[in-house]
Chain A
């Protein structure tokens, strides 16, 4: 398997534009996570899905952020409209959770810069 795939790897956009980040989890995994990392706020979990269903989106900063997982092999994180404070590295991870067993595998991250 190719691992967790994220696209784009880098994104530069202007304030007010819509940004869509994409993630393809590892085949067979039943959970998917979106994280954000900034110098100011550190690491944050934004949202996670289990069997394509959002379990907890309380980490999503505000209504400008939305995440979807239409099927087991694809998820998007959308920011509309984007703001400079959204500049961060966004990581996607997937895992197979069975009872107490879990190992998350991370994608390489998308580095977003909002000007």
Chain B
């Protein structure tokens, strides 16, 4: 079965705190992709990252970093020194390879509120 679990439904942190959003996935495929998306209160969607299953290197982009661990089937997202503008719903997703192409599986999202 293919599945993405974001167990944290809502998180609140005070500005400048670090926060980690968890993402646990299930797949039997050896080739797959993992994604993170951001949806601010305005409703637009913002693509954050795509990572393939063969690349377990951590990724850092400014205050954002991602930790991919195949051993625990996790692809966690950390925001360092959080800011109010980071308040949003964050979605993790899995794209698994099928003979007909890839199929996407989204988590239910984690709503992050950064309190000033």
Please list the residues of chain A having a beta carbon within 8 angstroms of any beta carbon in chain B.
35, 42-45, 48, 55-56, 58-59, 89, 91, 93, 95, 100, 102-106, 108-109
**Given known A-B contacts A89-B43, A105-B47, A42 and B101 have beta carbons under 8 A apart:** no
In the complex, given contacts A45-B104, A56-B101, A104-B47, what are 5 additional A-B residue pairs having Cβ atoms less than 8 angstroms apart? Answer: A35-B45, A48-B102, A100-B55, A106-B45, A109-B43
Q: B106–A44 contact, CB under 8 A?
A: yes
Collect the chain B residues with CB atoms within 8 Å of residue A106's CB: 44-47
Q: Cα distance A48–B98 when bound, in Å? A: 14
**Count of chain B residues near A, Cβ 8 A:** 20
Q: Cα distance A35–B39 when bound, in Å? A: 13
Q: Which among B55, B104, B109 is the interface contact of A59 at CB below 8 angstroms?
A: B104
B48-64: CB near A (< 8 Å → 1, else 0) gives 00101001000000000
Q: Cα distance A14–B108 when bound, in Å? A: 29
Residues in B30-77 with C-beta less than 8 Å from chain A:
37, 43-47, 50, 52, 55
Closest chain B residue, CB of each to CB of A103: B47
Q: Which among A35, A42, A44, A58 is the interface contact of B100 at CB below 8 angstroms?
A: A58
Q: A109–B44 contact, CB under 8 A?
A: yes
Q: A102–B43 contact, CB under 8 A?
A: no
Q: Cα distance A30–B9 when bound, in Å? A: 34
Q: Cα distance A108–B52 when bound, in Å? A: 27
Q: Which among A42, A48, A58, A103 is the interface contact of B108 at CB below 8 angstroms?
A: A42
Collect the chain A residues with CB atoms within 8 Å of residue B108's CB: 42
Q: Which among A59, A102, A105, A109 is the interface contact of B103 at CB below 8 angstroms?
A: A59
Collect the chain B residues with CB atoms within 8 Å of residue A56's CB: 98, 100-103
Residue B25 interfacial (CB < 8 Å): no
Q: Which among A43, A59, A93 is the interface contact of B47 at CB below 8 angstroms?
A: A93
Collect the chain B residues with CB atoms within 8 Å of residue A91's CB: 45
Q: 3 smallest A-B Cβ distances: which pairs?
A: A56-B101, A45-B104, A104-B47
